[in-house]
Amino acid sequence: MRTETNINEQEAAKQREIMERLKVRLAKKSEELGRPLTYCSVCFGCQMNAKDSEKLEGILETIGYVRTESEEADFLIMNTCTVRENANLRVYGRLGQLKKLKKKNPEMMIALCGCMMQESLVVEKIKQSYRHVDIIFGTHNVFKLAELIENKLDSKGMVIDIWEGTTEIVEDLPSDRKYDFKCGVNIMFGCNNFCSYCIVPYVRGRERSRKPEDIIDEIEKLVSDGVVEVMLLGQNVNSYGKTLDEPISFAELLKRVEQIEGLKRIRFMTSHPKDLSDELLEVMANSTKICKHLHLPMQSGSTKILSDMNRRYTKEDYLALVDKIKTAIPDISLTTDIIVGFPTETEEDFLDTLDVVRKVRFDSAFTFIYSKRTGTPAATMEFASTEEEIKERFNRLLHEVQEIAKETCSKDEGKTMEVLVEGLDEQDESLLTGRLSNNLLVHFPGDVSLIGTFQNVKLSEAKGFYYIGELV
Ligand code: 5AD
Ligand code: SF4
């Protein structure tokens, strides 16, 4: 376990030096080959992983790799997720296929990183069965990619560097932002909640908050670079700041972020219901920049299951919290995560989940079938229901959630609202796609020059989970 101070500037300087060396070395290689060296970046999982991938891509671009979407690249990096078993299976499937590509291009390097690599059994399996992997690292040392590539170029074997944990935060390294006008900003890392089904605290380590002044600095730089919307990222943003030498609340941080001139929209993810404060609701209600959207994972509606999950709130607590939120911010959009088939869940418990879904009327819900994660407390619990019963419950929940979301999401039909134009519609390139404050998408005719700007759009037709609109 490392115990360095919070921000490690020396480390960042060291990495920048390595990047300079590699740049020269890879330029030579590219000259010998008579073509640019390419990289392909594959990312599974959550917003935290997406943010890490931007950092990895920033390093790769700095040392001279050119991005390609094809896996036939000189450098392939896969940032993995392990929150559910099928995420792991997808990685093994992809690795099998990559073996053939590597035979075709012996220059190819394959790197694996992210949450799945923090599990020792996974690394053992890769060492034994996937010898064509070149570099393995985890969630705590993303900033070290250049150094690991240099090590690989200087050695024959697999380079493996997994840290069990860290108290260190290395900043000020390049990042290849996906959008010019919006950006995710880490405000904290790790999680201390140990929900009994969840592997995240084991693979992302203990909760660490960044200092408010570093966060503000980063956002100010982003804004001067053209960013108008930020998404503050953390596994449990509501407990932000508690571990700092000078503790501050998440609500206080939001107030400071709000003051940044030029910044137009603030989002954040994820809120744990047990830590959501009245102060936060007050700040949200009075803010002109904080988007009217809360992602508030409920996981289950049964007090018994919530207790077995170690969520530290009851069904009644959750419902009372939702009431309080809706009173404080009437036009709020609420979204959630729900797990079906937690080992001890019975039909009666599931009916409690359906009951909460019907009472709250979420704008959308991510629904998951419980997936056993070895090493977590729930992994040793006996199942109270069969697989068929769980699948049937899952389908019932999905149907309910979708029917309600269709209605809830249509409530603004006919109104004119402001969107941030994000890009071309993926299905129909004659349309633009914009995002409302409440996180819903609107597709409407318009010119590409509007991308990155705010526009007023009439929400002409509700389509369930999105709108078709027109510029006004
Ligand atoms: N099985 C199923 N879903 C899970 N999640 C976390 N761990 C598991 C698991 N073992 C879900 C939770 C969480 C979301 C990110 O993933 O709903 O909020
Ligand atoms: Fe996992 Fe619970 Fe932490 Fe979320 S709050 S990352 S579900 S342990």
Tens digit of each residue's pLDDT (9 = 90 or more) over 290-328: 999 999 999 999 999 999 999 999 999 999 999 999 999
| CA atoms lying within 13 Å on the CB side of residue 120 | 3
Task: Identify the helix (H) or strand (E) that includes residue 357.
Answer: helix 347-360
pLDDT the model gives residue 7: 58
Does the CB atom of residue 179 touch ligand 1 within 6 A? no
| C-alpha distances out from residue 342 to 198, 287, 308, 367, 381, Å | 11, 38, 9, 12, 9
332 lines ligand 1 (CB under 6 A): no
CB contact at 8 A, 457 and 412? no
Counting ligand 1 atoms within 8 A of each CB, the residue from 194, 198, 373 with the most, and so the one to mutate, is 198
Strands, E assignment, 308-370 = 333-340, 364-369
pTM score, two decimals? 0.92
Atom of ligand 1 minimally distant from the CA of 83: 7
Under 8 Å CB-to-CB from 371, ≥6 apart: which residues? 83, 84, 85, 86
Show the low-confidence residues of the chain (pLDDT under 50).
Answer: 1-5
Distance of CA 83 from the midpoint of ligand 1 (Å): 6
Q: What letter does residue 7 receive in the DSSP assignment?
A: B
Residue in 119, 235, 339, 371 to alter for ligand 1 test, most ligand atoms within 8 A of Cβ: 339
Ligand nearest to the CA of 203: 2
- pLDDT for res 6: 54
Which of 328, 327, 295 has the alpha carbon at shortest distance from 438? 295
Name the token pair of 293. Answer: 């959207």
Distance 367 CA to ligand 1 centre (A): 9
465 alpha carbon to ligand 2 midpoint, in Å?
27
| Any atom of ligand 1 within 6 Å of the Cβ of 204 | no
Pick from 20, 159, 82, 146: which is nearest to 374 by CA? 82
C-alpha–C-alpha distance, residues 27 and 18, integer Å: 14
**Ligand 2 centroid distance, CA of 274 (Å):** 12
